[in-house]
């Protein structure tokens, strides 16, 4: 686990030693991952074995609570989403039974990591054998399908020889002795690649890139009869009996244990989307379900409201941004979608624009790094140049090995229109965050590159008015400027996804956020603007359910951050 060190203390009970370990992330306070690790360990002496129930209440509750970080907005809500109470003794007993051991063999249960969707525990036996217990948060959706699909996917990949941890036992339902869904799986020991990623030389980079390309090739060579997610057949049959929306039978694979069933992609279930009566698969062909899902969501839950600043890049409203969130852009995408698949245009893959070798991509690769220039740089500049060189080196060898071991994937990576095609799909499918400007810009780019996208054929069914294009691109430039301002605020405060910060950085981050707001209020040019800033500051707590269904039409912008000169000391 990434850490700089740990602060520990030991509490002794009769027969029980409790060690609390708080690990700090390796990355700086300005670059966090939502998956963060802490370790809270309980060790039992043997013999005799003492029940975990003798632990102090506050330490026992740490097993149920999120303790790896805090959020600068909606902190209570984020923690409530991750609070999961279960029966520790029963979970331990079930884990021991899963590997044909006695519960008395367990000498330690410790919180291993807390990610975006699961809390993991390391269970250690007296012989040194370790296994992992994974428990999903209450907010994880769709819980039954996510667990069942993850287990089946790991089993299928293992059957094809990929190095995947073994699953010993699982329960996608909480109706068991432990009172929670769980996965018991193999504990993989070794060195995490992320821990040494910045250390290897070129020889190691070549080796790692080759192994990754070979693994990807093996995984991508597996053929499936439909789109969706993988399941054991019996799990999907059990789900059909209790599902609140219509389900269709799974499509069986060659290995008759498995089938393709409903898609568990979060974008199909996020927020109130889980309440929609949608066909989530399996589907022999892949229609534009993401866009259709968003249309259904807007029809059922969307309503007009005053614009509210979003928490993510691409959604912060800017002056002049009378951004209209309507069905129009999604309808436009649906008109194009059937023509965007590269599988129906062989010329896209075989186009002469694709480099014949990887080297033509990187003709300036070596020239871009002139070692003699390093002598004229200070230590910071040298470090930056060396890091840039290392990143180019990694990218070069990954693409080179992909070309050698995974031809189809290489063709997709080097398709000149691949980025635009993926951008169209993602912007149309991702959960709506307040406006469709990014989708509209991608649609405009698609109309300008229609022949390259489709390989010829019928003309583009979507046409934009030239004045509309100019206004949209102007608004996009303003949006990017606002995004840069929002990113600068994040850098100043030092928070990550959803406002996450390490526990030890929380008070400082809150103070910085307060200072930014005060500076914003001071820079306001009118009482109305000041009132809007106070009411809609993006780093304050807010009603997320209200925001989630806000505004098919986003009207006047709330405030102007980009003209503020904010300084924080």
Residues of the chain with CATH 3.30.200.20: 6-189
Domain 6-189, architecture per CATH: 2-Layer Sandwich (3.30)
CA dist list (Å): 528 to 78, 351, 478, 524, 540: 31, 56, 22, 9, 19
Q: ∠ CA(512), CA(514), CA(515), 5° rounding?
A: 65
Are 440 and 464 a contacting pair, CB within 8 Å?
no
Phi-psi region of 240 (alpha: psi -120 to 50; beta: other; left: phi over 0): alpha
- The pLDDT value recorded for residue 548 is 56
368-394: burial string, b at 16+ Cβ within 10 Å, e else? ebeeeeeeeeeeeeeeebeeebbeebb
- The pLDDT value recorded for residue 300 is 80
- The pLDDT value recorded for residue 59 is 58
Cβ contacts of residue 212 below 8 Å, gap of 6+? Answer: 398, 401
Which of 472, 442, 447, 440 has its CA nearest to residue 462?
Answer: 447
Length of the chain: 569
CA dist list (Å): 426 to 20, 98, 431, 461: 42, 40, 9, 20
pTM exceeds 0.75, yes or no: yes
Helix, strand, or coil here: 240? Answer: helix
* 352 HSE (CA, 13 A, CB side): 0
Q: Is the peptide bond before 468 cis (omega within 30 degrees of 0)?
A: no
Q: Are strands 251-252 and 500-501 parallel, antiparallel or unpaired?
A: unpaired
- The pLDDT value recorded for residue 246 is 59
H helices, E strands: number in the chain: 20, 13
**Gap between the Cα atoms of 160 and 163, Å rounded:** 9
Are 447 and 460 a contacting pair, CB within 8 Å?
yes
**Gap between the Cα atoms of 443 and 429, Å rounded:** 14
Which residue blocks in 245-344 are alpha helix, DSSP H?
289-301, 328-337
Cβ contacts of residue 254 below 8 Å, gap of 6+? Answer: none
Are 472 and 440 a contacting pair, CB within 8 Å?
yes
Which of 516, 315, 531, 291 has its CA nearest to residue 435?
Answer: 315
Q: ∠ CA(71), CA(73), CA(79), 5° rounding?
A: 50
Which of 436, 438, 404 has its CA nearest to residue 420?
Answer: 438
- The pLDDT value recorded for residue 343 is 55
**Gap between the Cα atoms of 422 and 340, Å rounded:** 10
Q: What is the pLDDT along the chain (569 residues), one digit of tens a residue?
A: 333 322 222 222 223 222 222 222 233 332 323 334 444 444 443 333 444 443 444 556 789 999 999 999 999 999 999 999 999 999 999 999 999 999 999 999 999 999 989 999 999 999 999 999 999 999 888 989 999 999 999 999 999 999 999 999 999 999 999 999 999 999 998 888 888 888 888 899 999 999 999 999 999 999 999 989 999 999 998 887 666 565 678 999 999 999 999 999 888 888 888 888 888 888 876 666 778 888 888 778 766 444 444 444 444 443 333 334 457 888 899 898 888 876 543 323 222 333 333 334 443 344 445 556 777 788 888 888 888 888 999 999 999 999 999 999 999 888 889 899 999 988 888 887 666 889 999 999 999 999 999 888 889 999 999 999 999 999 999 989 988 888 888 888 999 878 999 999 999 999 999 999 999 899 999 999 999 889 888 899 988 876 555 433 332 333 334 334 433 33
- The pLDDT value recorded for residue 239 is 84
């Amino acid at each position: 686990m990434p850490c700089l060190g740990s602060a520990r203390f030991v509490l002794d009970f009769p027969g029980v030693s409790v060690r609390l370990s708080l690990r700090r992330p390796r990355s700086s306070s300005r670059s966090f991952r939502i998956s963060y690790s802490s370790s809270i360990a309980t060790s039992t002496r043997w013999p005799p074995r003492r029940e975990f129930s003798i632990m102090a209440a506050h330490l026992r509750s740490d097993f149920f609570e999120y303790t790896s970080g805090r959020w600068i907005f909606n902190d209570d809500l984020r923690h409530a989403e991750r609070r999961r109470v279960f029966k520790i003794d029963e979970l331990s007993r079930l884990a021991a039974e899963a590997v044909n051991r006695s519960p008395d063999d367990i000498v330690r249960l410790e919180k291993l990591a807390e990610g975006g969707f699961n809390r993991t525990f390391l269970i250690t036996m007296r012989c040194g054998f370790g296994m992992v217990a994974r428990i999903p948060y209450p907010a994880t959706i769709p819980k039954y399908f996510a667990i069942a699909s993850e287990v089946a996917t790991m089993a299928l990949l293992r059957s094809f020889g990929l190095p995947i941890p073994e699953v010993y036992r699982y329960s996608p339902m909480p109706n068991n002795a432990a009172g929670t869904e769980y996965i018991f799986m193999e504990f993989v020991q070794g060195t995490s690649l992320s821990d040494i990623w910045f250390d290897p030389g070129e020889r190691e980079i070549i080796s790692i890139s080759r192994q990754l390309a070979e693994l990807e090739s093996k995984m991508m060579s597996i053929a499936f009869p439909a789109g969706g997610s993988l399941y054991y057949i019996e799990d999907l049959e059990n789900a059909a009996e209790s599902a609140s929306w219509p389900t269709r039978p799974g499509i069986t694979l060659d290995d008759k244990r498995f089938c393709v069933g409903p898609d568990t992609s979060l974008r199909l279930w996020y927020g109130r989307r889980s309440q929609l009566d949608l066909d989530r698969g399996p589907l022999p062909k892949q229609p534009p379900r993401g866009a259709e899902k968003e249309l259904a969501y807007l029809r059922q839950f969307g309503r007009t409201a005053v614009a509210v600043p979003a928490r993510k890049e691409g959604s912060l409203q800017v002056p002049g941004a009378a951004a209209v969130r309507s069905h129009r852009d999604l309808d436009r995408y649906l008109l194009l979608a059937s023509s965007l698949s590269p599988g129906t245009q062989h010329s896209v893959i075989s186009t002469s624009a694709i480099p014949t070798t990887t080297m033509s991509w990187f003709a300036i690769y070596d020239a871009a790094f002139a070692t003699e220039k390093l002598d004229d740089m200070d230590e910071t500049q040298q470090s930056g140049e060396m890091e840039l060189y290392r990143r180019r080196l990694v990218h070069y060898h990954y693409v080179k090995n992909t070309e050698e071991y995974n031809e189809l994937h290489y063709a997709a990576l080097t398709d000149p229109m691949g980025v635009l095609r993926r951008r169209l799909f993602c912007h149309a499918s991702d959960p709506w965050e307040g406006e469709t400007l990014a989708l509209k810009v991608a649609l405009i780019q698609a109309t300008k590159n229609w022949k390259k996208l489709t390989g010829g054929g019928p003309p583009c069914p979507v046409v934009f008015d030239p004045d509309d294009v100019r206004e949209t691109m102007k608004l996009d430039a303003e949006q990017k400027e606002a995004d840069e301002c929002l990113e600068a605020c994040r850098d100043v405060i030092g928070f990550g996804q959803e406002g996450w910060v390490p526990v030890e950085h929380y008070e400082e981050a809150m103070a910085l956020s307060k200072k930014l707001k005060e500076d914003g209020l001071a820079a306001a040019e009118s009482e109305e603007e000041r009132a809007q800033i106070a009411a809609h500051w993006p780093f304050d707590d807010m009603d997320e359910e209200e925001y989630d269904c806000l505004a098919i039409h986003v009207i006047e912008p709330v405030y102007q951050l980009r003209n503020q000169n904010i300084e924080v000391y």
